[in-house]
Structure 1
């Protein structure tokens, strides 16, 4: 049962990363297809929209777990870590967008360094989430742990994201 913690935590982190990943800039008004697809589905979201989706996914996770009073005491650090993860993800997406839009194309070594930095930052944020979530997870009963797994697959991975990555 303890092996399921990483799955649940990674799934929970997906709620936040998917909000930032989903779409990031204002929708195109010139009728041209966006780079992520066609129509409104491919349109990018404003920062306020992304924040609203992060809030909704965190609220869905909390509501689905049906925490008791003792467990509620362990929720604030988890929520804070989830929000920090979303913020880190949004910043990483913005940095990638800025690099794509710049006239300079980084050489392969700089791209490796950029990827390394992004992975290190992501790993540190996931570790903070795991550390913050452990006390809460240990207090969950079996039914709550099952719900966490389901929420991780259904609520936290919108837009067809499955275990093996994005479906296209």
Structure 2
């Protein structure tokens, strides 16, 4: 099965995000976290490992929403202060990297307990999560390639599902 193209999805996401309130964005984050949890079908033992993962996901979503708000407020800054814009982007990327690291640390114990079916579902569920959930936009363009590689089992650069 071929992976869905991401470029069109990303452009649509960017256009739509300007239309939603912070409350809407929070509701979307809640829905995506609930979908991830439901899709994994965690056992009772795995459920005990879920709260730190959920907290890290929510923290990452809040950070992304804050970055989006700053970007909206600072439109046009690149023309007037390109160096300041670069510094702000670097700060956002550093904050995003720290939040992603916290998510990885929180998810590691749970991931270690997932069976193969849960891992397979996780890879699919992650591909369809919004930027706010997985740090896209904060981490730069390489994240898309990293996530695409998760679906490539033979290192030929092609999604073989």
Runs of at least 5 residues in structure 2 that lack an aligned partner in the other structure: 1-9, 137-142, 146-161
Report the CA distance shift for 1:89/1:61 in structure 2 as closer, same or farther (over 3 A): same
Report the CA distance shift for 1:141/1:117 in structure 2 as closer, same or farther (over 3 A): same
Q: Find 1:58's aligned residue among 1, 12, 33.
A: 33
User: What do the CA deviations read for 1:42-99 (whole angstroms, capped 9, x no partner)?
Assistant: 8611122111111110000000000001100100000000000000001111111111
Report how far residue 111 of structure 1 moved. 1.6
- Are 1:54 and 1:86, in contact at CA under 8 Å, matched by a contact in 2? yes
Output the TM-score relative to the length of structure 1.
0.66
Q: Find 1:124's aligned residue among 98, 107, 110.
A: 98
User: Who is 1:78 aligned against?
Assistant: 53
Report how far residue 113 of structure 1 moved. 0.9
Report the CA distance shift for 1:101/1:125 in structure 2 as closer, same or farther (over 3 A): same
How many residues in Structure 1 have an aligned counterpart in Structure 2?
Answer: 125
User: Who is 1:11 aligned against?
Assistant: none
Output the TM-score relative to the length of structure 2.
0.68
Give the Cα–Cα distance (whole angstroms) in 1 for the partners of residues 27 and 70 of structure 2.
22
Give the Cα–Cα distance (whole angstroms) in 2 for the partners of residues 93 and 108 of structure 1.
18
User: Who is 1:92 aligned against?
Assistant: 67
Report how far residue 106 of structure 1 moved. 4.2
User: What do the CA deviations read for 1:132-151 (whole angstroms, capped 9, x no partner)?
Assistant: 00000001011100010111
* Mapping 1:1-150, distance limit 5 Å: 22=13, 36=15, 44-100=19-75, 105-150=79-124
- Are 1:85 and 1:125, in contact at CA under 8 Å, matched by a contact in 2? yes
The SS at the match of 1:45 is coil
Give the Cα–Cα distance (whole angstroms) in 1 for the partners of residues 24 and 46 of structure 2.
29
The SS at the match of 1:44 is coil
Give the Cα–Cα distance (whole angstroms) in 1 for the partners of residues 18 and 68 of structure 2.
15
- Are 1:22 and 1:44, in contact at CA under 8 Å, matched by a contact in 2? no
The SS at the match of 1:100 is coil
Runs of at least 5 residues in structure 1 that lack an aligned partner in the other structure: 1-17, 24-35
